[in-house]
Amino acid sequence: MRVAIIATPYPLEEIPAPPLGVAYVAAAFEAAGAEVKIFDYIVSNYTKEDLKRKLENFQPDAVGATSVTMNFYEGQRIIRDVKDCNPEIITMMGGPHVSFTASDALRQYPEIDLIVIGEGEVTIAELTPVIRHKNKWRDIRGIAYRNDDEIVLTGKRDFIADIDSIPLPARRLLPLSRYQALGYPVSMITSRGCPHSCIFCVGRRMVGAKIRKRKSNLVLDEIEEIIGYGFDRINVADDLFTFDKERVKEICAGIKERSLKFKWSAFARADTASQEVFDRMAEAGCDAVSFGVETGNPEILKQIKKGIKLEQVYTAVKMCQKAGMMAHTSFIVGLPGETKDTLMETEKFAKSTKAIYGYHILAPFPGTTVREKVQDYDLEILTDDWAKYDANDPIIKTSSLVPQDMRDFVARYDDEMKDETRKLLKGYYEGTNTIEDNMFVEGRWRMELTYKILKGDIIENSGFIEPALFEGSKNRALQELCRRVKESTKADTKVVDDTISDFAGRGYIRADISDKGCTWSWSV
């Protein structure tokens, strides 16, 4: 049995980590006895020709794609291309979007054969041996599929009680050197489940209300594995990492005992803050904590069932900063009951905490209470075009706010950020910046260049250097590669030279030299 997993294209500007869901799915298929490959189109350019070549080389029996709402269409189109290339391949989709739109997705998109609903590891274990035998699918809970004109939903599967039994994510199957070049943190989770009922979130329904925690030693083993791949920054993406204070302290102690050297960040609820825990986290290398606050208006906070108080946010931020960590707070624009006045309250509150803060615009994803019970709230959903569900532009309105009001509010914040960037750029060219400011400017340039290199497949397309152009010298071959990257991207010469040389120095790209020439390629 061969299974290919698609890492569906996702905007690099949205700061994607190596895709955790994809790596978990790949590991589950491997544990079930399948040979697995990941076709990653997050950090490379998707073309049907490339997909066809990969399918011909690997000859998979099944192809699966995962997606969130905003990139569902991308995943669906790739699945359609798979069917065009080989109609005999079984096609699957999974993830939060299709888990809550399974029947509609199967009706509208005949290229999708099967949908895995919700938490998928045990479902995959049962499905893999019979994936070619459709007559046996009906016995497997947690899937949906089409049987002639009938949509078959096989029933809800229980959540996995022992999550220590779940195989570690198969990150080794990802193009890790590309993600290292991108420079974003690697995400990991140490628990599943959330008892809270925030109306804008699908988390509780995807992973259950009961918190299921992994043993601390297994968490530490995964951290060691990630560091072993060459990454030096991790983000703990649990909704409730700081909920169990003794367990957090145990993990932090284990990091120090194993002498694990890396920087990390975590999400936390303001009502779980503890000075002792934050101090321990900082001592173990944590340098940033993010708090979802959502609004500065107490009444809206209650309506969205966030379950925190604004006073707790002040306390949590101060504790975080006292521990020497950066505090970040995030807010949602366009919640039910939002008015221009409540937006001003949110802005005032965000600034008053002295934390770094940012905004997203409410996207009522399938599976959320706010979508399924929209008639109960002061909210109107304006479109079901899933591509617009990126939380960057309004697709809703309230009785007091139209989309342009929300755009104007967020634009004012964006303008403040752009002003800061312009000041740093001015200081960079005038020589008045601090070293740290200049590092920030150059880092942004490097990031923008890396986006172009990855999405344009520039190393693949420009990496072969003819013998006459480098005369056996690896350094000259690197110089020629830099010249070509500059020509392709129109980026600053120094930025290109520094970035490509750093990629080579760190081993993200490698040179294979023979009498036929030098070929630069990504290492993994």
For 109, residues 6+ apart whose C-beta sits below 8 A from its C-beta are 76, 79, 80
Closest listed residue to residue 506, CA positions, set 173, 263, 176, 172: 176
Tell me the percentage of the chain whose pLDDT exceeds 70. Answer: 100
**pLDDT on residue 132:** 95
Asked if the structure places residue 302 within a domain, the reply is yes
**pLDDT on residue 15:** 87
**216 lies in the same domain as 349:** yes
Band (239; pLDDT cuts 50, 70, 90):
confident
- 141-163 per-position pLDDT tens digit: 999 999 998 999 999 999 999 99
**223 lies in the same domain as 367:** yes
Closest listed residue to residue 482, CA positions, set 455, 517, 441, 469: 469
Question: Quick one: tokens of 524?
Answer: 């993994």
- 287-328 per-position pLDDT tens digit: 999 999 999 999 999 999 999 999 999 999 999 999 999 999
Asked if the structure places residue 198 within a domain, the reply is yes
Check which CATH number belongs to the domain holding 496 and give it: 1.10.10
Check which CATH number belongs to the domain holding 319 and give it: 3.20.20.70
Asked if the structure places residue 229 within a domain, the reply is yes
Q: Is the pTM of this model over 0.75?
A: yes
**116 lies in the same domain as 194:** no
Cα(520)–Cα(270) distance, integer angstroms: 48
Q: Got the DSSP string for 98-136?
A: HHHSHHHHHHH-TT--EEE-SS-HHHHHHHGGGTT-GGG
**pLDDT on residue 41:** 97
Asked if the structure places residue 177 within a domain, the reply is no
Asked if the structure places residue 160 within a domain, the reply is no
Cα(137)–Cα(133) distance, integer angstroms: 7
Q: Got the DSSP string for 396-449?
A: EE-SS--HHHHHHHHHHHHHHHHHHHHHHHHHHHHT-S-HHHHHHHHHHHHHHH
**421 lies in the same domain as 463:** no
**145 lies in the same domain as 266:** no
Number of domains composing the chain: 3
Cα(401)–Cα(214) distance, integer angstroms: 43
Q: Are 288 and 237 in contact (CB under 8 A)?
A: no
**200 lies in the same domain as 314:** yes
- 95-138 per-position pLDDT tens digit: 999 999 999 999 999 999 999 999 999 999 999 999 999 999 99
CB atoms under 10 Å from CB of 497, counted, come to: 16
Segment 458-475 mean pLDDT: 95
Asked if the structure places residue 158 within a domain, the reply is no
3-state secondary structure 176-230: HHHHHHHCCCEEECCEECCCCCCCCCCHHHHHCCCCEECCHHHHHHHHHHHHHCC
Task: Give, as one character, the DSSP assignment of residue 160.
Answer: P
End position of a domain, from candidates 427, 458, 485: 427
Asked if the structure places residue 412 within a domain, the reply is yes
**pLDDT on residue 524:** 84
Higher pLDDT, 170 or 149: 170
For 151, residues 6+ apart whose C-beta sits below 8 A from its C-beta are 102, 103, 106, 107, 144, 145
Average pLDDT, the chain: 96
Asked if the structure places residue 368 within a domain, the reply is yes
| Residue-range definition of the domain harbouring residue 54 | 2-153
End position of a domain, from candidates 378, 411, 427: 427
